[in-house]
Amino acid sequence: MDLQALVDAASTRDWDADPDGTVSLAVVGLGNYARNVSIPAIEAGDYTDLGAVVSSDPEKAARVADAHDAVVLDYEGYAEGDAVDAYDAVYVATPNRLHLDQIRTAAGHGKHVICEKPLEATTERAVAAVDACEAAGVTLMTAYRMQTDPVIRALASFVSAGGIGEPTKAMGEFTFPVLAGSKGPGQWRLDAELAGGGALMDVGVYPLNTTRYLLGADPGAVEAMARADDPFGDRPADPDSPRFADEHVHVLAAFPDGVVGEFTASFSGEADTWLELVGSDGRVRIENAFVPDGERTVRISSDAGEIEFSGVGANETREEFDYFAHCVLTGTPPEPDGRDGLTDVAIMGAAYEAAESGSRVELTRR
């Protein structure tokens, strides 16, 4: 692939079978990200619309539903199958530890599911989520928006076509200073039980999953270091809420063929996100790599020359929901499926174990 062909590919949707129809989604959980990023993407999609919203806050739910002409459900109504004809599929955007319950409900209604990352808070629960959807014969997609970002998709093709030679190593960072934000210590992502961990589960999953996607391979072992000294400073956390271990985390992941990935994630510090892949004959660096709907800057040096480009691509969240709908409408299994999400939860669980023990943890293939 020459470099101009790569830039062209990074601007283009590469999976669209132009299916008939649309998929109407029930959005389960109306947090900030669902309201401000996901619902606008669903409304803008070629193959999606908003059929229902599920929330425990009736006022918030009514505000969102009225603006979008959607049905309002509370969690009991959703569980009991109220207005089940108002939606074809379910988008799960609750705290991580609650994904399994909502996925089981969707599968019980025979609805396809797209679930936010990470798939669940523990490996055991992620396995149960995959099993529930397989048993019900419904599609389960993990909402890895990087895998539907045209820039990232084009880079995956470039790397797999040998654009950087044989990959040798990967490095990536997602530093997201949530602790300095306005939402305070009570938010669920800072509750280790609801979130399944700290920075690694919430944002470290981005460089991890994106590297797995770009390499087309999974690590077989991890080492890690993590710390969380006094993350809440003078804003005391809920004393009943378990603390996470990783305000900062660093993971070494041993991929096949000797490729090692170094990933770091933080809940404090100067924000940045980037990913870099090194190969025998080239190198790809993505800046602004994981910012939602952010403009990626890509720098490549390779046998085919050097290039830097930005300003191409598309809103990857809209792409994500359209891709999910396309999969449902055409009966195509999604690339970021439930097992993809499960694999990351297992890797991150192993990384927490490695950080705690100080020893390399081998991963078993699932």
Q: Which chain residues interact with a copy of itself by CB under 8 A?
A: 164-165, 168-169, 171, 173, 175, 221, 223-225, 227, 229, 248, 250, 252, 254, 258, 260, 262, 264, 266, 268-270, 272, 278-283, 301-302, 358-360
| Closer residue to a copy of itself (CB): 20 or 229 | 229
Q: C-alpha distances in angstroms, 235 versus 142, 182, 188, 199, 315? A: 33, 11, 15, 18, 35
Q: How far is the CB of 211 from a copy of itself (least distance, A)?
A: 13
| Closer residue to a copy of itself (CB): 18 or 270 | 270
Decide the pairing of beta strands 248-254 and 112-115. Answer: unpaired
| Closer residue to a copy of itself (CB): 28 or 228 | 228
| Closer residue to a copy of itself (CB): 175 or 209 | 175
| Inter-residue contact 207 to 290 (CB < 8 Å) | yes
Helix (H, G, I), strand (E, B) or coil at 246: coil
For residue 112, the cross-strand partners are 89
Q: Is 193 left (phi over 0), alpha (psi -120 to 50) or beta?
A: alpha
Q: How far is the CB of 220 from a copy of itself (least distance, A)?
A: 11
| Inter-residue contact 312 to 11 (CB < 8 Å) | yes
| Closer residue to a copy of itself (CB): 18 or 257 | 257
| Closer residue to a copy of itself (CB): 18 or 229 | 229
Q: How far is the CB of 352 from a copy of itself (least distance, A)?
A: 14
| Closer residue to a copy of itself (CB): 59 or 270 | 270
The DSSP output letter for 258 is G
| Closer residue to a copy of itself (CB): 185 or 220 | 220
Q: What is the spatial distance between Cα 155 and Cα 9, in angstroms, rounded to a whole number?
A: 9
Q: What is the spatial distance between Cα 72 and Cα 75, in angstroms, rounded to a whole number?
A: 10
Q: How far is the CB of 358 from a copy of itself (least distance, A)?
A: 3
| Closer residue to a copy of itself (CB): 21 or 258 | 258
Q: How far is the CB of 359 from a copy of itself (least distance, A)?
A: 5
The CA-CA-CA angle for residues 21, 19, 318, to 5°, reads 80
Closest CA to 113 of 89, 137, 96: 89
Crossing angle between the packed helical segments 316-330 and 150-160, to the nearest 10 degrees = 70
Residue length, the chain? Answer: 366
Q: How far is the CB of 94 from a copy of itself (least distance, A)?
A: 30
| Inter-residue contact 213 to 319 (CB < 8 Å) | no
Q: How far is the CB of 264 from a copy of itself (least distance, A)?
A: 6
Tokens of 121: 């808070």
Q: How far is the CB of 168 from a copy of itself (least distance, A)?
A: 4
Amino acid of residue 200: L
* End-to-end C-alpha distance for the chain, whole angstroms: 33
Q: How far is the CB of 33 from a copy of itself (least distance, A)?
A: 24
